[in-house]
C-alpha cells in the first residue's frame, strides 16, 4: 500500500483541488462548538507583532487522486472551515485601501480560492462539495456571488460559520488593517496540516480506520460507513451510498443525526451483540473476529447497510412515537411509554429493535404494551435505569427475529413476567405507601391516574379518554393542602406533620377538570361539611374515578357503573374522608393498578 504524507501550510494547498464526494457526511461543525474552538486555537497561537511566530498544527486530511483533483476521505470539516476562513479574509481585505504587501496577500488568497484553468476553460475552485446538502453554497461563497437561501441544515451551518469567522476577523481589522494583514500572513504560512495521499479508496479508508480507532467512541458511525464502502464491490458502492443517505435522514428525523452513536449502540445490542456495549467499544467490537462473523460486512456490506437503514427507520419512528405526547400515532403503547418512563426515555428501543424487520405495527405495539407495564412496575419500585438496560439486552436476544404476537407473548412469559412476579410482594408494600410525588414529573402522575381511569371506563364498555385530554387535567388533593386558617381538627390528625402525611398519599389525589377544581378549592374549611360539598362537585366531573368518590353517585338501576362500584379496584365510596378512607382508596388503587398494567392480558398476580 503506497502512502504519501507531507506537512503543508495552508498556502501550499494551492497545489491541490479537492472534492468532497457525495457519499461523505455533510458539514456538521456547529458555530458555538467546533468553529469556535477552531478560531480560539489559532487565536491562542497568533501573536501580532511577533518577529518569529511559531507554527500551529491543525490536523490531517486523507485524500485519493481522482483525475486532476483529489477526493477528501477524511478532514472535510476542517478543510471546509479553512476555505470559509479564506473567503472571510478576502471579503474583509478587498474593501480596504491596501499597501503593496497587503495587496499581495489579497491576490494570494483570491488565487488560492479559485483560478482559471486554460485547458478546461473553466474556473477551478479549491474545494468542491458534491453532497446534495451543500446546494453549491460553498461554490457561490468562493466565487463571491450572491448566496442561496438556507435550504438545508448544512447550508445553515456554513452560513453561521462564515458569519462567526468574519465577525472574529473584524475584531482584528478594528485593531488596525496591519493586524488583519498579519493574521492573513499567519493563516497562510504558519498553520500546518498533514496531507496523506493514498493510492486508492480502499487504502485511504484503511488509513482512516487506523487513525480513528483510538477515537472510535467519537467516530464509530463514520467508521462503519467507510468500512462498508471499503468492502463494496461493483454497484454496491452506489447502493450503499443511497442506503446511508436514507439512514441519515431517519436519524435527522429523530434529531440524532449529529449524535448517532446511541442508535448504533442500541442497534448492535438489540440484534447482534450479547450484552452491554459502551459507546467507546462499538467500533472495536465491529472489527473483532466475532463482529465480522455476526455482521458479515466483509462478504455482504450492502446487506448490513440495508439492515442499518431499516433499523434507523424503526428507531426514528419509535423515538417520534415516544415523544408524541398526543393521540393518533401508529404506536400508541410506545407513546404511553413516553408518559410512563419519561418522554426522553430510549431504553425500550433495545427490545423493539430486536423484532424482525418485517414485524407489523401491531406486533411492535403489542410488545410495547408489555414494556409499558414493565415500566409501571419498575418505576413504582424505584428500579434504576442501568439495571433495566442490563435486563433488556438479555431479553433482546430471545426476541431477535420474532414477528408474531404469539411468539412475543411466549418470550414475555419467560422473561418480564417471572422477573416482576419475584418482586410482587415488594410492589404491593411499596404501592400502599406511595406519595403523589413518587410519580414525578406531573405528566407521569396524570398518566398513571388517567390509565386507571380508562381501565374503569373499559370495564363499563364506555369510550376511553385520550392522552391529550388526560394531560390537560389537574391534580386534586381531596384532603386539601391548605385548610382554611391552617385549622386541622384533631379527628383528622394530631399535628401538621401527620396531616401532611395524609394529604400527599397517592390515595388522596384524583384527576379533575380545571373548572370543577376551582369550585372545590372553596371547600377547605375542615370544620364544616367540606367533604360532602366536594362530593357534590366530584359528581359533576366527566371522570368516573372522580365521580365514584361521591358515595351517593349512581347511574340507572343495575348498570355496569353501579356494579363497578362494588369491585375491589373501584371501592372509592365513603361518607367521610380521613386517614382510614385514604388507606382504603390506596388499597383499591392497588387492585386497579394490577388490573390496568397486565402482561399478556393477565394480572401480575394471576
Residue whose C-alpha is closest to residue 83's, from 158, 155, 24, 147: 158
Q: Tell me: the pLDDT tens digits for 268-298?
A: 999 999 999 998 889 889 989 999 999 999 9
Q: Going by C-beta distance under 8 Å and a sequence separation of 6 or more, which residues neighbour residue 495?
A: 488
Residues 6+ apart with CB under 8 A from 231: 297, 298, 301
Q: Give the phi and the psi of residue 124 in degrees, each rounded to 5.
A: -105, 125
Q: Cα–Cα distance between 244 and 352 in angstroms, integer?
A: 22
Rg (alpha carbons) of the chain, rounded to whole number: 32
Nearest to 222 by CA among 283, 172, 177: 283
Query: Can you tell me the distance from the alpha carbon of 379 to that of 238, in angstroms, rounded to the nearest whole number?
Result: 47
Pairing mode of beta strands 509-512, 474-477: antiparallel
Determine the Cα–Cα distance for residues 225 and 128; give it in Å rounded to an integer: 21
- Residue 198 has phi, psi (to 5 degrees) of -105, 160
Structural contact between residues 541 and 516, judged by C-beta atoms closer than 8 angstroms: yes
- As a whole number of angstroms, the distance between CA 352 and CA 341 comes to 15
- Integer Cα distance of 71 and 65 in angstroms: 6
Q: Return the DSSP state at 148.
A: P
> Beta strands 114-117 and 191-198: pairing type?
unpaired
The two most distant CA atoms of the chain are separated, in Å, by: 102
Sign of the torsion angle spanned by Cα atoms 63, 66, 68, 72: negative
Q: What is the 3-state secondary structure (H, E, C) of 265-315?
A: HHHHHHHCCCCCCCHHHHHHHHCCHHHHHHHCCCCCHHHHHHHHHHHHHHH
- The x, y and z cell numbers of residue 572, run together, are 372509592
List, in sequence order, every beta strand (DSSP E) within 126-261: 127-129, 191-198
How would DSSP label each residue in 12-58? GGGG--EEE-TTS------IIIIIHHHHHHHHHH--TT-SSPPPEEE
65: left (phi over 0), alpha (psi -120 to 50) or beta: beta
Residue 326 DSSP symbol: S
Give strand pairing partners of 477. Answer: 509
Q: Strand (E) positions, 362-477?
A: 474-477
Cis peptide before 441 (omega within 30 of 0): yes
What letter would DSSP give residue 382? T
Reference 74, options 253, 215, 231, 257; nearest CA is 215
Instruction: Pick out the chain residues at pLDDT < 70.
Output: 1-2, 209-219, 554-563, 565-566, 569-571
The confidence score (pLDDT) of residue 218 equals: 40
Strand, coil or helix: 174: helix
% helix, strand, coil for the chain, step of 5: 60, 10, 30
* DSSP structural state of residue 505: B
Pull the grid cell for residue 46: 497568533
Q: How far is Cα 61 from Cα 58, in angstroms, rounded to an integer? A: 10
Q: Grid coordinates representing 28?
A: 456538521
Spatial distance between the Cα atoms of 225 and 222, rounded to a whole number of angstroms: 5
Q: What is the pLDDT of residue 213?
A: 54
From residue 289, alpha-carbon distances to 258, 261, 285, 293, 552 in Å are 29, 21, 8, 6, 72
Long-range Cβ contacts of 481-489 (<8 Å, 24+ apart): 482/524, 483/524, 483/525, 483/526, 484/524, 484/525, 484/526, 487/525, 487/526, 487/527, 488/526, 489/526, 489/527
139, containing H or E segment: helix 137-143
Nine-digit cell string for 202: 480502499
Minimal CA–CA distance to 336: which of 543, 597, 606, 595? 597
pLDDT in tens, 310-358: 999 999 999 999 999 999 999 999 999 999 998 999 999 999 999 999 9
Cα separation, 193 vs 274, whole angstroms: 41
Instruction: Assess contact for 108 and 187: CB atoms under 8 A.
Output: no
DSSP 81-134: HHHHHHHHHHHHHTTS---HHHHHHHHHHHHHHEEEETTTTEEEESEEE-SGGG
Distance CA 604, CA 138 (A): 61
Dist CA 425 CA 199 (whole Å): 67
Pull the grid cell for residue 472. 390537560
Amino acid at each position: 500500500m503506497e502512502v504519501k504524507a507531507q506537512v503543508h501550510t495552508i498556502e501550499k494547498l494551492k497545489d491541490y483541488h479537492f472534492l468532497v464526494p457525495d457519499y461523505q457526511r455533510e458539514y456538521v461543525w456547529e458555530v458555538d462548538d467546533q468553529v469556535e474552538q477552531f478560531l480560539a486555537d489559532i487565536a491562542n497561537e497568533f501573536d501580532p507583532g511577533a518577529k518569529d511566530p511559531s507554527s500551529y498544527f491543525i490536523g490531517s486530511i486523507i485524500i485519493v487522486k481522482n483525475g486532476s483533483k483529489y477526493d477528501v476521505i477524511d478532514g472535510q470539516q476542517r478543510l471546509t472551515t479553512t476555505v470559509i476562513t479564506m473567503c472571510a479574509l478576502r471579503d474583509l481585505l478587498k474593501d480596504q485601501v491596501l499597501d503593496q504587501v497587503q495587496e499581495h496577500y489579497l491576490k494570494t488568497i483570491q488565487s488560492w480560492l479559485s483560478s482559471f484553468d486554460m485547458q478546461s476553460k473553466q474556473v477551478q475552485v479549491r474545494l468542491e462539495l458534491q453532497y446534495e446538502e451543500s446546494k453549491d453554497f460553498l461554490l457561490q461563497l468562493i466565487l463571491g456571488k450572491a448566496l442561496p437561501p438556507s435550504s438545508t441544515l448544512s447550508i445553515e451551518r456554513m452560513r453561521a460559520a462564515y458569519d462567526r469567522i468574519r465577525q472574529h476577523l473584524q475584531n482584528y481589522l478594528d485593531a488596525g488593517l496591519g493586524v488583519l494583514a498579519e493574521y492573513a500572513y499567519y493563516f497562510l504560512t504558519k498553520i500546518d496540516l498533514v496531507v496523506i495521499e493514498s493510492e486508492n479508496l480502499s487504502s485511504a479508508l484503511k488509513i482512516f480506520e487506523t487513525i480513528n480507532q483510538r477515537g472510535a467512541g467519537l467516530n464509530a458511525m463514520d467508521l462503519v460507513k467507510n468500512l462498508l464502502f471499503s468492502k463494496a464491490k461493483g454497484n454496491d458502492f452506489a447502493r450503499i451510498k443511497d442506503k446511508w443517505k436514507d439512514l441519515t435522514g431517519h436519524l435527522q428525523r429523530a434529531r440524532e443525526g449529529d449524535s448517532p452513536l446511541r442508535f448504533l449502540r442500541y442497534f448492535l445490542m438489540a440484534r447482534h451483540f450479547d450484552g452491554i456495549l459502551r459507546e467507546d467499544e462499538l467500533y472495536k467490537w465491529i472489527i473483532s473476529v466475532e463482529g465480522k462473523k455476526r455482521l458479515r460486512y466483509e462478504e455482504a456490506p450492502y446487506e448490513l447497510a440495508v439492515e442499518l437503514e431499516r433499523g434507523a427507520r424503526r428507531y426514528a419512528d419509535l423515538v417520534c412515537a415516544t415523544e408524541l405526547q398526543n393521540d393518533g400515532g401508529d404506536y400508541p403503547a410506545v407513546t404511553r411509554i413516553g408518559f410512563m418512563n419519561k418522554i426522553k426515555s430510549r431504553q425500550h428501543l433495545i427490545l423493539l429493535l430486536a423484532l424482525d424487520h418485517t414485524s407489523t405495527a401491531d406486533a411492535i405495539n403489542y410488545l410495547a404494551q408489555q414494556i409499558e407495564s414493565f415500566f409501571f412496575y419498575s418505576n413504582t419500585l424505584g428500579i434504576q435505569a442501568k439495571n433495566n438496560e442490563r435486563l433488556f439486552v438479555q431479553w433482546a436476544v430471545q426476541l431477535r427475529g420474532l414477528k408474531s404476537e404469539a411468539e412475543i407473548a411466549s418470550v414475555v412469559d419467560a422473561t418480564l413476567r417471572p422477573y416482576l412476579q419475584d418482586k410482587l410482594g415488594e410492589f404491593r408494600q411499596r404501592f400502599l405507601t406511595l406519595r403523589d410525588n413518587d410519580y414525578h414529573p406531573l405528566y407521569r402522575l396524570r398518566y398513571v391516574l388517567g390509565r386507571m381511569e380508562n381501565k374503569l371506563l373499559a370495564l363499563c364498555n364506555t369510550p376511553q379518554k385520550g392522552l391529550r385530554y388526560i394531560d390537560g387535567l389537574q391534580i386534586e388533593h381531596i384532603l386539601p393542602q391548605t385548610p382554611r386558617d391552617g385549622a386541622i381538627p384533631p379527628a383528622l390528625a394530631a399535628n401538621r406533620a401527620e396531616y401532611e402525611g395524609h394529604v400527599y398519599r397517592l390515595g388522596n389525589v384524583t384527576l379533575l377538570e380545571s373548572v370543577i377544581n376551582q369550585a372545590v378549592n372553596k371547600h377547605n374549611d375542615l370544620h364544616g361539611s367540606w367533604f360532602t360539598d366536594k362530593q357534590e362537585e366530584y359528581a359533576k366531573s366527566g371522570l368516573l374515578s372522580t365521580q365514584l368518590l361521591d358515595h351517593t353517585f349512581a347511574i340507572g338501576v343495575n348498570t355496569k357503573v353501579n356494579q363497578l362500584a362494588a369491585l375491589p379496584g373501584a371501592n372509592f365510596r365513603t361518607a367521610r374522608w380521613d386517614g382510614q378512607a385514604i388507606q382504603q382508596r390506596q388499597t383499591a388503587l392497588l387492585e386497579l393498578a394490577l388490573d390496568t398494567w397486565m402482561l399478556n392480558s393477565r394480572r401480575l398476580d394471576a
